[in-house]
């Protein structure tokens, strides 16, 4: 692991609250920088990557800082991507897929959790292999959905 | 009869509720249980069946919610309660609501927007303003009663914003608004932005208080009878997307019930671009004057969301049980294998004075043809 990553105290506190280790984030960003599997928003100078790690996914938003990067946020979610059903190409964003420079738009992806498959909106593009769940979707909508699925499945 | 719900209804049968809860969860977790669930969208029908008036249903949310729960047990329907009406969050924007014996609350008197210049003064109500307003106060009196009392098992905090187009039209008057969609589209969009931002803030306020907020959104005025498909997209679909995005960012959801009321014969395909969550229900009313065929809804939406059927509300009100049973049977046979789940329902809220025999006809069809 070679990257230099600055994590400010307020971001470190968020990581702690979410149970995310700094080394996991460093490994993720290192992988994103090596493979270019990331989205880039040049208007805000932000980078965003996401990757399945074991039975969950880890996402990180970061920006260049000095010879390395500064972490903006990181979050996890447990639903696993199983496919993409719709590309809503007119709902555009400022993100582009770093490997192809393709514009990132809203998509509808198929997700699986505890054996249940349901759809949820995310961001992606036709050449992106991965659907990216925005932080609010992952930490609010999907987090509650995961809890309700656990409860309903057990009811 | 008491208007205190605690004194008006016996305790709910816990065994029935546990069974109904498992059945209700089925479509969403991919494990169908017992039979197709039935949701005729019970609202003041419940109050009438319980010996109260339609006006009381809306003026006393605690009583209204309790009567829905009781009626759900009576007819073996859903394990969750609900209570809503269409002209919501309007008082916060300057409208006056009138309660009548025959209709849900209607906007009464002079509209807040009389002339184009009034539109410039419109400002969305923020979360704090919503929390202090009459709608939230009224709603939370019912929700707190549900959450903290014997009906807690029925409680789902629901935000409803239907229909952004119709609510915007009420701010001006429907005729004038429809004319403005052609002659003054910028004004219409300013009104709709205000309505949608206010409604999203209301969803956020509910989520803030209760941890989450199921969203019920209707495309009532944005349909093929009144608008071209392009206008349905401009004034309906796009604002649904804006509303849900903003509300989700503030913590609302994850449940989404899209209720496309009225005729969607020319515009249904446009709605597939809506924001989706793992708990999305798609409910479409009519294709022309007929219930939208379930086979077609299943083909378009079955792989995307839980779908809900649509017995014509006129049939529920005027038809005989045999007709309701036969229509229900066909809908259930067409929809029960929908990949992401199926619920048997009415095209819209069941009319308040529907014969109870017709609700029974829906349930009987589900028991006999909707077995899993």
A47 shares its domain with A84: no
Question: What pLDDT shows up at residue A155?
Answer: 58
Confidence check: pLDDT of B137 > 90: yes
Question: What pLDDT shows up at residue A2?
Answer: 76
Q: Across chain B, what does the average pLDDT equal? A: 95
A13 shares its domain with A70: yes
Mean pLDDT within B197-211:
97
Overall number of domains in chain A: 2
A61 shares its domain with A12: yes
A10 shares its domain with A58: yes
A37 shares its domain with A88: no
Optimal mutation site among B156, B237, B249, B277, interface A, most CBs of chain A within 10 A: B277
Which residue of A lies nearest to B252 if distances are taken between CA atoms?
A141
Contact B273 A91 (CB under 8 A): yes
Question: What pLDDT shows up at residue B236?
Answer: 94
CB A77 within 8 A of CB A142: yes
Confidence check: pLDDT of B1 > 70: no
- Asked if the C-beta of A77 comes within 8 angstroms of chain B's C-beta atoms, the answer is no
In a domain, A99, yes or no: no
Confidence check: pLDDT of B30 > 90: no
A26 shares its domain with A43: yes
- Confidence band for A1, pLDDT divided at 50, 70 and 90: low
A117 shares its domain with A72: no
**What phi, psi does A121 have (nearest 5°)?**
-70, 145
- Asked if the C-beta of B273 comes within 8 angstroms of chain A's C-beta atoms, the answer is yes
Mean pLDDT within B221-248:
94
- Asked if the C-beta of A43 comes within 8 angstroms of chain B's C-beta atoms, the answer is no
A85 shares its domain with A44: no
Which residue of B lies nearest to A151 if distances are taken between CA atoms?
B25
Higher pLDDT, B7 or B119: B119
- Confidence band for A85, pLDDT divided at 50, 70 and 90: very high
Confidence check: pLDDT of A70 > 70: yes
A87 shares its domain with A133: yes
Question: What pLDDT shows up at residue B5?
Answer: 76
A11 shares its domain with A69: yes
Mean pLDDT within B329-345:
97
| Residue A49 belongs to domain spanning | 5-77
Distance CA A101, CA A107 (A): 17
A51 shares its domain with A86: no
Mean pLDDT within B325-341:
97
Question: What pLDDT shows up at residue B237?
Answer: 95
Query: What is the nearest CA distance from A132 to chain B, expressed in angstroms?
Result: 14
- Asked if the C-beta of A58 comes within 8 angstroms of chain B's C-beta atoms, the answer is no
How many other C-beta atoms are found inside a 10 Å radius of the C-beta of residue A44?
12
Closest CB to B29: pick one of A106, A144, A149.
A149
Contact A145 B340 (CB under 8 A): no
Confidence check: pLDDT of B124 > 70: yes
Mean pLDDT within B149-174:
93
Model confidence pLDDT, tens digit, residues B252-279:
999 999 999 999 999 999 999 999 999 9
Question: What pLDDT shows up at residue B189?
Answer: 97
CATH number of the structural domain B5-369: 3.20.20.210
In a domain, A115, yes or no: yes
Mean pLDDT within B38-48:
97
Contact A88 B303 (CB under 8 A): no
Confidence check: pLDDT of B358 > 80: yes
Which residue of B lies nearest to A155 if distances are taken between CA atoms?
B22
Q: List all residues of chain B from 101 to 140 with a beta carbon under 8 Å from chain A.
A: none
Question: What pLDDT shows up at residue B12?
Answer: 95
Mean pLDDT within B221-245:
94
- Confidence band for B186, pLDDT divided at 50, 70 and 90: very high
Q: Across chain A, what does the average pLDDT equal? A: 95
- Asked if the C-beta of A94 comes within 8 angstroms of chain B's C-beta atoms, the answer is no
Which residue of A lies nearest to B25 if distances are taken between CA atoms?
A152
């Amino acid at each position: 692991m070679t990257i230099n990553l600055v994590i400010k105290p307020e971001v470190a506190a968020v990581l702690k609250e979410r149970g995310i280790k700094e080394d996991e984030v460093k490994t993720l960003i290192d992988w994103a920088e090596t493979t270019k599997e990331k989205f880039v928003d040049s208007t805000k100078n932000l980078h965003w990557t996401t990757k399945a790690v074991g039975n969950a996914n880890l996402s990180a938003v970061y920006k260049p800082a000095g010879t390395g990067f500064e972490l903006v946020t990181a979050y996890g979610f447990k639903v696993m991507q199983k496919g993409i059903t719709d590309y809503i190409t007119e709902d555009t964003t400022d993100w582009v897929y770093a490997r192809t420079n393709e514009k990132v738009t809203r998509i509808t992806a198929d997700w699986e959790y505890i054996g249940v498959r349901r759809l949820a909106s995310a961001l992606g593009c036709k050449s992106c292999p991965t659907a990216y769940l925005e932080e609010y979707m992952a930490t609010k909508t999907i987090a509650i959905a995961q809890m309700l699925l656990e409860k309903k499945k057990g009811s | 009869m008491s208007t205190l719900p605690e004194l008006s209804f016996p305790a709910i049968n816990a065994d029935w509720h546990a069974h109904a809860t498992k059945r209700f969860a089925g479509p969403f977790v991919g494990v169908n249980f017992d039979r197709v669930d039935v949701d005729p969208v019970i609202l003041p029908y419940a109050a009438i069946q319980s010996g109260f008036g339609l006006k009381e249903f809306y003026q006393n949310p605690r009583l209204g919610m309790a009567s829905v729960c009781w009626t759900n047990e009576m007819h073996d329907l859903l394990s969750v309660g609900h209570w809503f009406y269409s002209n919501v969050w309007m008082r916060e924007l300057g409208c006056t609501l009138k309660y009548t014996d025959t209709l849900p609350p209607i906007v009464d008197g002079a509209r807040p927007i009389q002339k184009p210049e009034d539109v410039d003064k419109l400002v969305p109500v923020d979360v704090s303003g919503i929390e202090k307003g009459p709608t939230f106060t009224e709603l939370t009196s019912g929700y707190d009663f549900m959450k903290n009392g014997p009906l807690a098992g029925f409680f789902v905090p629901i935000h409803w914003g239907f229909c952004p187009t119709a609510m915007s039209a009420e701010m001006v008057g429907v005729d004038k608004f429809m004319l403005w969609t052609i002659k003054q589209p910028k004004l219409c969009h300013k009104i709709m932005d205000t309505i949608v931002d206010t409604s999203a803030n209301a969803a956020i306020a509910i989520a803030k208080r209760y941890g989450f907020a199921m969203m019920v959104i209707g495309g009532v005025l944005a349909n093929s009878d009144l608008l071209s498909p392009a206008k349905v997209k401009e004034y309906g679909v796009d604002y649904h997307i804006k509303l849900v995005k903003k509300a989700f960012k503030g913590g609302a959801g994850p449940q989404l019930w899209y209720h496309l009321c009225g005729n969607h014969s020319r515009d249904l395909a446009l709605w597939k671009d809506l924001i989706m969550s793992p708990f999305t229900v798609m409910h479409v009313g009519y294709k022309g004057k007929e219930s939208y065929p379930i086979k077609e809804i299943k083909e378009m939406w079955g792989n995307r969301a839980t779908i809900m059927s649509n017995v014509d509300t006129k049939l529920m009100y005027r038809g005989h049980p045999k007709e309701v049973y036969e229509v229900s049977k066909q809908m259930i046979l067409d929809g029960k294998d929908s990949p992401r789940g199926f619920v048997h329902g009415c095209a819209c809220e069941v009319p308040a004075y529907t014969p109870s025999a017709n609700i029974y006809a829906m349930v009987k069809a589900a028991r006999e043809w909707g077995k899993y």
